[in-house]
Amino acid sequence: MRSKFGLYLHVPFCASKCRYCDFYSYPPSAGEMDVYVDALCRCMAGWAADAAGETADTVYLGGGTPSLLGAERLSKIIEKARTCFSLTPDAEITVECNPDSMTDALLDGLRRAGVNRLSVGVQSAHDDELALLGRRHTFAEAAEAIGHARTHGFDNLSLDLMYGLPGQTAARFLKSVDALLEFHPEHLSCYGLKLEPGTPMGRENPTLPDDDAQADLYLALCARLRAADYEHYEISNWARPGRRSRHNSKYWDLTPYLGLGPGAHSLWRGKRFAYPRDTGRFLAGGAPEPEEETPDFPAWAEYLMLALRTADGISGAAFSERFGMDFAPFEKRLRDLSASGLTEKTANGWRLTEPGFLVSNSIINYVIQ
């Protein structure tokens, strides 16, 4: 392995389920968190030998709500990660936090454990929207939590924001954007609301802004963040210069990552596998399973798909070198689309424009046809 890998650790617990969420998480029963932390530590120990000789430069605790575990358990996990794997001294260590659990004790503990990046789910600056989403906090509480984080010396914050909520106007959405910019976050992740079957919102099936309106919201967001000097480095991610998420970037450039915990995905030694979304099996020491085959998606198509998600785009030379394939047919299709303003040429290849990001699925399928 040439490049340094990323370590992802999953926490499948939330104090309550947000009304739009279909990720694998649930409220823990009494004592379950301790049992889980022990299992996760055992799991890391089990991988230690396999990862010997490799170095990780990012650790990401995601969920669920990792902050729900509290400082002590989180510290224990991070401590264990350091003993099982070789971490670079400057490793980016991120913990996802919900504003309602960002107590002084937590933030203090995380700082001491070496956590240097927090990802905070703010989602909206409007309390009615937060209530609709089933979030556990008001905007004032989120603001307070972010203030605490800053006081505790966290200088690398990522904030999550959602757009395309029922009845959301551009003006109202941009109010949320501006409110978040007030915190001068180093990083922003913005996702469109998608109604998932099996979630309360999915069952309610409210009317969302239509595709055109959602596209307008997205482009307005892009413009606002560009004006505020954020770099739009991936479809849904923006960063101040030098503040891209190093961990998430590995997903897009096919750098190895090891994901541990129920529902965690890995790209490890060229193989994709995942632990089943079942905490019970994980606690019992269940092994990960290979990911379902996607025969229409050979490695080169996957590479193209991931590269085109980023503002760096795809380099024809790198593509040809990596897969021994001629880039010309792909380049032709990318060039065809530039007439419609969906793609643009870069120094060594092609990338999607912001209107192109909005239709990236269709572009990718068109390019790899």
Partner 1 sequence: MKKQKNIRNFSIIAHIDHGKSTLADRLLEQCEAVTQREMEEQLLDNMDLERERGITIKARAVTMDYKADDGETYQINLIDTPGHVDFNYEVSRSLAACEGAVLVVDASQGVEAQTLANTYLALDHNLEILPVFNKIDLPAADPKKAKQEVEDIIGLPSMDAPEISAKMGTNIRAVMEDIVANIPAPEGDETAPLRALIFDSQYDPYVGVIVLMRLMEGTIKPGMKVKMMATGAEFQVLECGYLRPLSMEPAPMLRAGEVGYFTASIKNVKDTRVGDTVTGVDEPAAEALPGYRPARPMVYCGIYTEDGSKYPDLRDALEKLQLNDAALSFEPESSVALGFGFRCGFLGMLHMEIIQERLEREFNLDLVTTLPSVIYEIIKTDGTTVYVDNPHDYPSPDVIDEAREPYVKASIIAPPDFVGNIMPMCQERRGVFKDMQYLDTNLVELHYEMPLNEIIYDFFDALKAKTKGYASLDYEMSDYRKSDLVKIDMLLNGDQVDALSFIAHREKAYGRARRICEKLKENIPRQLFEVPVQAAIGGKVIARETVKAMRKDVLAKCYGGDITRKKKLLEKQKEGKKKMRSLGTVQLPTEAFMAVLKLDEE
Please give the residue ranges that form the binding site for partner 1 (CB under 8 A): 8, 10, 23, 62, 191-192, 194, 211-212, 214-215, 218, 235-236, 250-252, 257, 259, 263-267, 272, 274, 291-292, 294, 296-297, 302, 305-306, 309, 337, 339-340, 342, 355, 357-366, 369
Query: With respect to partner 1, which residue has the nearer C-beta, 12 or 109?
Result: 12
Contact between 190 and 163 under an 8 Å Cβ cutoff? The reply is yes
Contact between 55 and 5 under an 8 Å Cβ cutoff? The reply is yes
Selection from 271, 174, 183, 257 nearest residue 217 by Cα = 174
Query: With respect to partner 1, which residue has the nearer C-beta, 129 or 160?
Result: 160
Selection from 300, 320, 312, 322 nearest residue 367 by Cα = 300
Helical residues (DSSP H) of 68-126, grouped into ranges: 70-84, 104-113
Beta pairing partners, 159: 120, 188
- Residue 50 beta carbon to partner 1: minimum distance, rounded to whole angstroms: 18
- Residue 10 beta carbon to partner 1: minimum distance, rounded to whole angstroms: 7
Query: With respect to partner 1, which residue has the nearer C-beta, 127 or 297?
Result: 297
Query: With respect to partner 1, which residue has the nearer C-beta, 58 or 101?
Result: 58
Take residue 223 and report the two structure tokens written for it: 């413009």
Tell me the residue length of the chain: 369
Query: With respect to partner 1, which residue has the nearer C-beta, 276 or 355?
Result: 355
DSSP state of 266: E
DSSP string covering 122-136: EE-S-HHHHHHHT-S
Selection from 119, 248, 136, 236 nearest residue 185 by Cα = 119
Residue type, 117: R
Distance CA 118, CA 149 (A): 8
Q: Is 218 helix (H, G, I), strand (E, B) or coil?
A: helix
- Residue 214 beta carbon to partner 1: minimum distance, rounded to whole angstroms: 5
- Residue 291 beta carbon to partner 1: minimum distance, rounded to whole angstroms: 4
Take residue 231 and report the two structure tokens written for it: 């770099």
- Residue 140 beta carbon to partner 1: minimum distance, rounded to whole angstroms: 27
- Residue 275 beta carbon to partner 1: minimum distance, rounded to whole angstroms: 11
- Residue 261 beta carbon to partner 1: minimum distance, rounded to whole angstroms: 9
Query: With respect to partner 1, which residue has the nearer C-beta, 136 or 272?
Result: 272
- Residue 105 beta carbon to partner 1: minimum distance, rounded to whole angstroms: 27
Query: With respect to partner 1, which residue has the nearer C-beta, 199 or 236?
Result: 236
Query: With respect to partner 1, which residue has the nearer C-beta, 109 or 119?
Result: 119
Take residue 315 and report the two structure tokens written for it: 């380099």
